[in-house]
Chains A and B, each alone.
Chain A
């Protein structure tokens, strides 16, 4: 069979290296290069990227040097200490605990939960949506009924009940509990695009080329809806920071001895704190706003990089 092609083409094995080189010279840049040039074209997004990466690294590493149980001990001498003093950079709360240290450990906990939750729930939701949308028919029907059932459950109440039932929970179990409920929106979104995408001819072409269903789903369709996936992941990451925060604020999130952004914002429950002791809750609130904004900037750049028609970066 190979001879058949050789007969009708001038290209032979001898030309392989030369032609490969020629082709590489003309090659379209790789995805990483495209993303980088997009960042270079969008200065605020570049700043946002550095803020996120820098901040996450800072809290992850910084938290290692902080002895949490000791930090969470009540120190009556530091009761609502003013901020910007040598011992308490950002002041102290009603227990005399350093707000700055709590902020570092709390951010690590909250961001860790958000990253874990986004990874687990988005992966599961994307797979669920892709499989449901691609196979269609009875499989889709069954999977969507499971989805409907999950949607029907009152999410916040279930989480609160689960948190109360499980005796010794920490950030890992909390992440897993959240993950049970947070894949749904993603899965429906991905399914709708997959339904449209799997009707396209390139999927039919892959099938006639003998490619297996799984390969078509994850190697053909998934890259084509990657811009949607990226946008959804960044948005749900920003949202997931809020999920833990919200629940901790209500008092059902992490245990009180584990600081998190939510427990810090919960300081704002007290009108006294809101008016007089602003340093107990304001840093955490500002941090969440800045992080979420930065994430959405970065998400926009990733989306533009994934979609050739929206690019702003240099052509090559």
Chain B
């Protein structure tokens, strides 16, 4: 059984208009997505801004009110608040935020920030708690000096590591990492990602890794889901997504990864333009009449794509993939 099973999750926001402020339409931020997160793995959720990936992450951690669908954890649907409270759900599922500065309360000292989940879930004695905080700081590579300082006294990378320390404080089973490194520069990104990987190895944590940076996702994730306009357009292993992308949206994302080899600049540009051309001309093939993605079709045991069955089969055979 998977650690977390997300089934047909929908998060819609009402649009109210007119004199009576009635609900006339809704923004479908997340529109029926289904995937499972296995214990100990890193699951990548990739998509452009506004595709609903952060909303998905917030629903899983319980910050967003879910419109319909279910999120099963230990056989309980945690979309209801009562169930979350009964399980002490957030002891097992924590979150790392994108903006490290705003996610740390500027008026609290680091000790209090990291100890916050401990105080709520574990009720340790004062010394044990302080010891745990010091150990956590040590694990993320910060000195004990940090204990009584405030968040603004640290650099971006250090702050994000404090965020990581807070997230692992209660020894959770799953951490939602919502673009944890996209606000950091490249060398610091690597540093924070390596800490996250190290912690994963040591504590056996699963990550739901939300990002728009495919380079980072490739480094971190075993399984990847590509999200577009509130729906999943492709699910597969790292191998499936990077070597055999089927959906045009995935191909566009891959084509958008910057190429550092200047000798192949022209070739890279040509391939990018080719993908863009297919996208412009063949919208109707990849999206339905309303411009939404199709339901997912399985093309191999690990690989699914949101396309009509005949097109999916045809593309899959072109890519030379083993049929399901």
Contact = CB atoms under 8 A, between A and B. Distances in A.
Given A204-B97, A209-B90, A23 B131 contact: no
B134 A22 contact: no
Given A26-B148, A209-B90, A16 B127 contact: yes
B106 interface: yes
A4 B95 contact: no
A211 B88 CA distance: 12
B138 A10 contact: yes
Interface in A1-51: 1-2, 4-13, 15-16, 19-20, 22-24, 26-28
B171 A27 contact: no
A114 B30 CA distance: 53
A205 B166 contact: yes
Interface residues of A, number: 38
Chain B interface residue count: which class?
35 or more
A2 B103 CA distance: 26
Interface string A197-219: 00011101111111100000000
Contact of A2 (B99, B130, B132): B132
A224 B105 CA distance: 8
Nearest to A223: B107
B144 A9 contact: no
Q: Which of A12, A28, A224 has the most chain B CB atoms closer than 10 A to its own CB?
A: A28
Contacts of B63: 204, 207-208
A208 B102 contact: no
A26 B95 contact: no
Contacts of A26: 145, 148-149
Looking at chain B's contact residues, the main secondary structure is helix
Interface in A200-256: 200-202, 204-211, 220, 223-224, 226
A26 to B, nearest CB: 4
A64 to B, nearest CB: 40
Interface string B198-214: 00001100000000000
Contacts of B148: 23-24, 26-28
A9 B138 contact: yes
A209 B150 CA distance: 19
Contacts of A1: 171
B149 A20 contact: no
Contact of B107 (A7, A23, A211, A224): A224
B158 interface: no
Interface in B128-168: 128, 130-132, 134-136, 138-139, 143-150, 152-153, 163, 166
Given A20-B130, A208-B63, A28 B149 contact: yes
Given A202-B102, A209-B90, 15 more contacts: A12-B131, A13-B131, A15-B134, A16-B130, A23-B146, A26-B149, A202-B104, A204-B63, A204-B103, A205-B104, A207-B62, A208-B61, A208-B62, A210-B90, A210-B117
14 contacts: A9-B135, A15-B134, A19-B144, A20-B130, A26-B145, A26-B149, A27-B109, A205-B163, A208-B93, A209-B94, A209-B117, A211-B116, A220-B108, A224-B107
